[in-house]
Structures are given as structure tokens and as C-alpha cells.
């Protein structure tokens, strides 16, 4: 018995550092940045008028940022009178505070872009003009900030900096996108530089990176203007790049998805949708297929089993792409927009403001319910968030919370 | 038997075409007014149309019109809101995508177009008293529909063509010309998805082609009649 106790104690002690370093990151596009929200018991259909609207907060300022939902509050970016703010609401949609971040993007498609990233008591945000800031999650008190343009010689792309910051351990990564500073790693507690990666030496392309964890190394995968980059998170070494073909390409927005040794991407221009095989040690990639007809600009895509679900851009419809050969196997007329997934269902939010609940049935997308968003302002670009049985949709100045459980 | 059916079909077709050609301009316009619900339109003083303009992006659009010839349009391009208005005297607009958000007097050629569209009853209704000239040109085809092609020489000298469905007598297409960078280009409006609102027929989808290529599409979610409108909205703001 004592022997068992000792073994248990040792096992606990040995495992503790692993458990202790487990980091809950609340971030862009779900816990794994793949558009999937791990909820259960959600409604399998909606009434004709849509699910019940629990509340609306209509003074967010302009922008397309999605919210992050913490245990105590909701954090979301918005632009008011050219200034970017981090807004905090309580879970019932009541305003708590707002904290000034910096100058916001006011050129084409003005307003905030990126989604905050929260790790426990700290939250990380960016603005369209490249301000990277760390604040207290509870109060919004600014702790440190750097600017990707003035501090790292970055260059704002034509629609402004749009990445949602990636965090791993004590490091926060950002993409200034200059010839010498394609990707930069910062100490997330101080903002000090850990490494600078030249990467492909080109400006950023609106993509929020994804982290691939392999036994040998962790890899940050993101797009710069014309390349998909694989960067070793230990030292910033560029492991590989994958060139996007075509002219005038600079819109590789969607976060790549990694699964079982393969990287999947759907990009607005360049190579469109493609699948790469990543070597076991993460140092090499091999193209499996590409399909230029899949041209989703910024609505993301979802991988469920052997299919990708996404929308087109030039052709305003949704597609199903089989992942063996990259062929489009079905299309559905539902305009174009975002795609998310939770509890066996696809959640589509198109640019006409229609929200759709679809069932992914292998090569088919089956429409179950739809409703039209009638509140909010301006373009329907934001990606919805599902958390604790609530679907949050930002439409310009409004954040809407729908009960879907 | 088949031959008999074919003969009857061809005869009916020829008869209908011949019948169509026999209609005078007044007959066509009379049927057009009836089909579009002009009698009911006379009881309408304001129209508010809200929906989406698809021009690469899908962006919100709102059009407000008031008798006799005032109009206002609010729309977004690259998610930046722009405005156009006509208060019966002055046509104005904002062009924030040029970097200048201030209201400006609209250039002449665009102003003429806006004034045409501001006519609450449309150019064809009471065209003589408005000083326009309307002529029946010919039978024509719009997509798969046979239409009457009418030429309107407006009081200001501008020329437009209206294409009226030869069967349903609804407007299917409007053609006019706009000078862009010194070159005259054809603007074609295609009117689709007609629905009745309080006895007046409205096109809920209007597709525009620019120089023969698809340019934008207006898709309305709601058309409201006789809502109270603050007339100030049609006037050019100072800022």
C-alpha cells in the first residue's frame, strides 16, 4: 500500500510540471484555431426567426473582430473615432470598460480586425496599424506595447494588419512583414524580442498563424504575401516555404489547419485550396494537391472527416471539397461568408447577413435552418463564436448573443 | 397529330407577335401603367428600400424617395458609407473612397442620371407634360423575353431606352449611357424578382451591367411605402 502511495506521489510530482504548464488560450476561431468549438447539446434546428436573441450590445465601435469569452467577461476590439479600443462586457452583455490600444485602420474597410488572445490574466491585441499590446484581462490596464511598423520596420498590407496573435508558452508571435522581420517572437510578459525571423522577407498577408506541435519541434505556420511559411518556434528558423502562384496575390487570410501529418489551406488567391504533406520532423513539405477554384478569401474553412467545407469568393456559394484529391464534390447557394463547426453542425454566416445551420453529410451540405440578422451595422464579415451554448455574432457596432442550447 | 399541334403553335406564335407589333405606344404604356400598379402608386408619397448592394462585396444599401422628385441613397463601398441625394434642385454626393468625405455637387452627367431616377413616377408616366419625347422603336429581346423597345429623349437632351415585356408589360431593362474618362459606356439595368407592395409592383433585384459586363446587383429585403421621411435628408449637408 505504501509502495502504491509512493508511486502515486512520484507520478504526481513528475506529472505536475506538465499539468502546470498546460495553458488555456482563448483565441481566434476556437481553441485550436480551426473554426471548431467543442460544445455539446446544441440545438439541431432553429425556429424560422432564428434562435432566441439573449442580448445585444450596440456600442462596440466599428470593426470585424470576433469576441473571446472568458469565465468572467467578453473581450472584443472596436474602433471609435479612429481609435482602437479593447471592450469588456460581462457575460450578460453589459458594458464594463474599454481600454485604448492605439490608432485604428481607417482606410478601406475601416475598423478593428483582429481577435484578442487571452491567457489567464493577460490579453493580447493588435490594431490595423500594427500596435501589439498586452493588457490585464480583468481591468484592461495596459502593461506593454510595441508597434510592428515603428519598432520592427513592418509594412501594413493594403487592408491593414489583421492577424490575431498566436501565443505558445511565454511567447507571443507577430508578423510585421518587412524584408528582415517577417515574423517576430516576443516575451509575452515584457514585450522584449526573443527572436526575429526573416522568413520569406515579405509583407504579411492577414493570416492568423497556427501552431503545429511535433515531437521534435513546434512550427508556426502562417502566410506572408506570397508564401506559406513554416517557422521553428524555438529560434525562428525558416524550415520551409510554399510559394503561391499567380499575379497580384496578397490575400492569404485563412488560418491553415493541421491534421495527422497534413496541412490544409484555402486561400483567396494564389494556389487556392491545397494540401501539403509535412515530414515527420516538420522540416519538409510535399504538395499533395491544389485547387485554384477554391478561392475563399477570409471566411475560413472547416475540416470534418474527409471533407473541407468552405465558401467561394468569385462564385458566391459554399463548397464541399474532398480531401483525397481536392475536388469540389458539392456546392450550395448560400452566398459567401464564414464557416464554423460545433456539435456535428456547420454554422455559416454569409455576407448578406444570413446565418445558416447546415449538416455536413460527407460530400453534401444539408441546409437545416436559416435566419437573417437584422441588427448591427455595415458589412457581415466577422466570424461567429460559440461558447457555453451561446452563439456570438458581431455585426459592426453590435455584438449579438443567441441562445442555441 | 404532331403536325397539327405544330401548325397551331406556330400560328399562335405568329398571331401573338403580329398582335404585339400592332400595339401603339399609347396601348403599350397603358398596359405598362396597369401592370406596374401606377394607379396605386399615385397614393404613395414616400418609398424606402433597404437591402444589399453586391459589387464584389455585399454591402448595405438604403434608398429613400419622396414625391415629386426627391431621392437619397446611402450605401457602402469597402465598408465606407457614401451618400447621394437630390432635393429637386441640387444633385450631390460624397465620395469618401477618394479621400474626401465632404458632400460635393455631383458632376453634370451623373446628376442627369440621378434626376431621371428621382422622378417618383418614372420617366414614362406623363412624359409629354414633363417635356420628354417617347418613341416606340421596335420589338426586341431581353434575355429570353420579347420586349418593346422604347426610346426616351429627355427634356435635358439625354437619351434612354426602356424595354417592356411584350407579354407581362413590366419593365425588364433600362439602357442609358454614361461618360467615363472621356468614353461613352453603356449602363444596363436589368429588373428582376417583381413583387407587389400594396398594389404597386417593385423589382426586388436590379442587376447593372457596365460596358456589357456585370457591375453590381441591388437586392432589396424590404420596400416600405408612405413612411414618414424628414425632407432634410435630400438636401446637401454642409459637412
Q: What's the count of helices (H) and strands (E) in chain B, helices before strands? A: 4, 13
Q: Please list the helix, strand and coil fractions of chain A in percent, rounded to the nearest 5, in that order.
A: 5, 45, 50
- A108–B78 CB contact, under 8 Å: yes
Measured between CB atoms, which of A110, A377, A379 is closest to B57? A379
To test the contact with chain B by mutation, choose from A105, A112, A159, A380 the residue with the greatest count of B C-beta atoms within 10 A, namely A380
To test the contact with chain A by mutation, choose from B54, B62, B79, B82 the residue with the greatest count of A C-beta atoms within 10 A, namely B79
The predicted structure's pLDDT at residue B231: 94
Instruction: State pLDDT tens for residues A365-375.
Output: 999 999 999 99
What's the gap in Å between the CA of B88 and the closest CA on chain A? Answer: 29
What's the gap in Å between the CA of B210 and the closest CA on chain A? Answer: 18
- B76–A111 CB contact, under 8 Å: no
The better pLDDT of the pair A3, B137 is held by B137
Output the pTM of the full model: 0.87
**Per-residue pLDDT band at B180 (split at 50, 70, 90):** confident
Measured distance CA(B75)–CA(B77) in Å, rounded:
7
Which of chain A's residues have a Cβ under 8 Å away from the Cβ of B57?
351, 379
Measured distance CA(A342)–CA(A37) in Å, rounded:
5
Which of chain B's residues have a Cβ under 8 Å away from the Cβ of A298?
none
- Would you kindly state where each structural domain of chain B is located, as residue ranges? 24-61+119-234
Nearest CA to A273 out of A262, A284, A282 is that of A262
A3 falls within a domain: no
Cell numbers linked to A117: 488572445
The predicted structure's pLDDT at residue A10: 41
Instruction: State yes or no: pLDDT of B57 exceeds 80.
Output: yes
How many domains is chain A partitioned into structurally?
Answer: 1
Q: Do A126 and A209 form a contact (C-beta atoms < 8 A)? A: no
**Per-residue pLDDT band at B2 (split at 50, 70, 90):** low
Percentage of chain B beyond pLDDT 90 is 79
A15 falls within a domain: no
Instruction: State yes or no: pLDDT of B101 exceeds 90.
Output: no
Domain residues for the domain of A57 are: 24-43+50-403
Q: Do A298 and A342 form a contact (C-beta atoms < 8 A)? A: no
**Per-residue pLDDT band at B17 (split at 50, 70, 90):** very low
- B58–A351 CB contact, under 8 Å: yes
Report the 10 Å Cβ neighbour count for B226. 12
Instruction: State yes or no: pLDDT of B15 exceeds 70.
Output: no
A242 falls within a domain: yes
**Per-residue pLDDT band at B20 (split at 50, 70, 90):** low
Which of chain A's residues have a Cβ under 8 Å away from the Cβ of B81?
378
- B59–A109 CB contact, under 8 Å: no
Question: Which parts of chain A sit beneath pLDDT 70?
Answer: 1-22
Which of chain A's residues have a Cβ under 8 Å away from the Cβ of B59?
378-379
A356 falls within a domain: yes
Which of chain B's residues have a Cβ under 8 Å away from the Cβ of A377?
60
What's the gap in Å between the CA of B51 and the closest CA on chain A? Answer: 9
Measured between CB atoms, which of A372, A378, A381 is closest to B60? A378
**Per-residue pLDDT band at B3 (split at 50, 70, 90):** low
Instruction: State yes or no: pLDDT of B8 exceeds 60.
Output: no
What interface predicted TM-score (ipTM) does this complex get? 0.77
Q: What is the mean pLDDT of chain A?
A: 93
Which of chain B's residues have a Cβ under 8 Å away from the Cβ of A350?
58
Q: Find the chain A residues whose C-beta atoms sit closer than 8 A to any C-beta of B.
A: 108-111, 316, 335, 350-353, 372, 377-381
Which of chain A's residues have a Cβ under 8 Å away from the Cβ of B60?
377-379
Instruction: State pLDDT tens for residues A55-112.
Output: 999 999 999 999 999 999 999 999 999 999 999 999 999 999 999 999 999 998 999 9
Q: Do A162 and A128 form a contact (C-beta atoms < 8 A)? A: yes
Measured between CB atoms, which of A108, A352, A372 is closest to B58? A352
Instruction: State yes or no: pLDDT of B11 exceeds 60.
Output: no
The predicted structure's pLDDT at residue B69: 95
The predicted structure's pLDDT at residue A17: 38
What's the gap in Å between the CA of A153 and the closest CA on chain B? Answer: 26
Average pLDDT over residues B68-72: 96
Measured distance CA(A128)–CA(A157) in Å, rounded:
9
Which of chain A's residues have a Cβ under 8 Å away from the Cβ of B219?
352
Nearest CA in chain B to A314: B56
- B59–A316 CB contact, under 8 Å: no
Which of chain B's residues have a Cβ under 8 Å away from the Cβ of A353?
52
Instruction: State yes or no: pLDDT of B6 exceeds 80.
Output: no
Give the CATH number for residue A130: 2.130.10.10
Nearest CA to A165 out of A141, A140, A138, A145 is that of A145
The position carrying cell 524580442 is: A193
A9 falls within a domain: no
Instruction: State pLDDT tens for residues B200-232.
Output: 999 999 999 999 999 999 999 999 999 999 999
- A335–B58 CB contact, under 8 Å: yes
Amino acid at each position: 500500500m505504501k509502495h502504491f502511495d509512493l508511486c502515486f506521489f512520484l507520478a504526481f510530482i513528475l506529472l505536475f510540471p506538465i499539468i502546470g504548464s498546460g495553458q488555456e488560450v482563448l483565441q481566434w476561431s476556437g481553441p485550436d484555431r480551426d473554426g471548431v468549438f467543442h460544445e455539446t447539446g446544441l440545438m439541431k434546428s432553429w425556429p424560422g426567426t432564428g434562435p432566441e436573441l439573449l442580448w445585444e450590445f450596440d456600442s462596440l465601435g466599428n470593426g470585424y473582430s470576433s469576441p473571446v469569452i472568458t469565465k468572467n467577461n467578453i473581450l472584443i476590439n472596436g474602433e471609435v473615432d479612429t481609435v482602437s479600443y479593447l471592450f469588456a462586457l460581462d457575460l450578460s452583455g453589459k458594458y464594463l470598460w474599454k481600454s485604448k490600444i492605439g490608432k485604428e485602420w481607417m482606410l478601406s474597410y475601416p475598423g478593428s480586425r483582429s481577435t484578442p488572445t487571452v491567457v489567464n490574466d493577460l490579453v493580447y491585441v493588435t490594431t490595423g496599424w500594427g500596435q501589439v499590446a498586452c493588457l490585464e484581462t480583468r481591468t484592461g490596464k495596459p502593461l506593454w506595447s510595441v508597434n510592428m511598423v515603428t519598432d520592427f520596420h513592418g509594412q501594413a498590407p493594403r487592408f491593414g494588419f489583421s492577424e490575431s496573435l498566436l501565443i505558445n508558452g511565454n511567447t507571443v508571435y507577430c508578423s510585421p512583414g518587412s524584408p528582415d522581420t517577417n515574423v517576430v517572437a516576443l516575451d509575452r510578459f515584457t514585450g522584449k524580442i526573443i527572436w526575429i525571423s526573416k522568413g520569406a522577407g515579405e509583407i504579411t498577408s492577414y493570416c492568423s498563424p497556427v501552431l503545429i506541435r511535433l515531437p521534435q519541434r513546434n512550427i508556426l505556420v502562417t502566410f506572408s504575401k506570397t508564401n506559406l511559411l513554416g517557422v521553428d518556434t524555438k529560434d525562428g528558423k525558416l524550415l520551409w516555404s510554399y510559394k503561391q502562384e499567380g499575379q497580384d496575390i496578397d490575400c492569404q487570410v485563412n488560418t491553415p489547419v493541421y491534421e495527422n501529418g497534413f496541412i490544409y489551406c484555402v486561400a483567396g488567391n494564389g494556389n487556392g485550396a491545397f494540401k501539403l504533406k509535412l515530414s515527420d520532423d516538420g522540416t519538409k513539405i510535399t504538395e499533395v494537391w491544389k485547387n485554384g477554384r477554391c478561392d475563399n478569401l477570409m471566411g475560413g474553412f472547416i475540416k470534418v472527416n474527409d471533407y473541407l467545407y468552405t465558401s467561394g469568393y468569385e462564385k458566391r456559394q459554399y463548397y464541399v471539397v474532398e480531401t483525397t484529391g481536392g475536388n469540389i464534390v458539392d456546392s450550395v447557394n448560400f452566398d459567401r461568408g464564414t464557416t464554423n463547426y460545433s456539435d456535428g453542425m456547420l454554422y455559416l454566416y454569409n455576407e448578406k447577413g444570413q446565418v445558416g445551420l447546415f449538416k455536413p453529410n460527407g460530400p453534401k451540405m444539408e441546409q437545416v435552418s436559416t435566419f437573417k440578422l437584422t441588427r448591427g451595422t455595415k458589412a457581415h464579415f466577422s466570424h461567429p463564436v460559440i461558447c457555453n451554448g451561446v452563439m456570438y455574432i458581431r455585426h459592426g457596432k453590435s455584438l449579438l448573443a443567441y441562445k442555441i442550447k | 397529330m404532331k403536325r397539327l399541334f405544330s401548325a397551331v403553335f406556330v400560328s399562335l406564335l405568329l398571331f401573338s407577335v403580329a398582335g404585339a407589333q400592332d400595339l401603339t405606344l399609347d396601348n403599350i404604356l397603358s398596359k405598362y401603367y396597369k401592370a406596374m400598379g401606377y394607379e396605386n402608386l399615385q397614393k404613395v408619397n414616400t418609398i424606402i428600400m433597404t437591402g444589399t448592394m453586391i459589387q464584389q462585396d455585399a454591402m448595405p444599401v438604403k434608398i429613400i424617395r419622396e414625391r415629386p422628385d426627391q431621392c437619397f441613397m446611402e450605401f457602402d463601398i469597402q465598408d465606407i458609407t457614401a451618400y447621394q441625394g437630390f432635393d429637386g434642385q441640387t444633385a450631390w454626393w460624397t465620395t469618401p473612397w477618394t479621400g474626401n468625405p465632404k458632400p460635393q455637387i455631383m458632376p453634370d452627367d451623373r446628376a442627369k442620371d440621378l434626376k431621371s431616377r428621382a422622378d417618383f413616377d418614372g420617366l414614362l408616366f406623363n412624359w409629354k407634360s414633363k417635356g420628354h419625347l417617347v418613341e416606340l422603336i421596335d420589338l426586341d429581346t431581353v434575355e429570353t423575353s420579347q420586349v418593346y423597345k422604347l426610346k426616351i429623349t429627355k427634356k435635358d437632351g439625354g437619351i434612354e431606352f426602356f424595354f417592356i415585356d411584350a407579354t407581362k408589360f413590366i419593365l425588364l431593362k433600362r439602357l442609358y449611357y454614361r461618360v467615363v474618362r472621356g468614353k461613352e459606356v453603356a449602363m444596363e439595368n436589368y429588373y428582376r424578382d417583381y413583387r407587389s407592395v400594396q398594389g404597386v409592383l417593385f423589382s426586388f433585384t436590379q442587376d447593372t451591367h457596365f460596358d456589357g459586363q456585370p457591375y453590381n446587383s441591388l437586392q432589396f429585403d424590404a420596400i416600405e411605402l408612405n413612411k414618414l421621411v424628414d425632407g432634410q435628408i435630400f438636401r446637401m449637408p454642409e459637412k
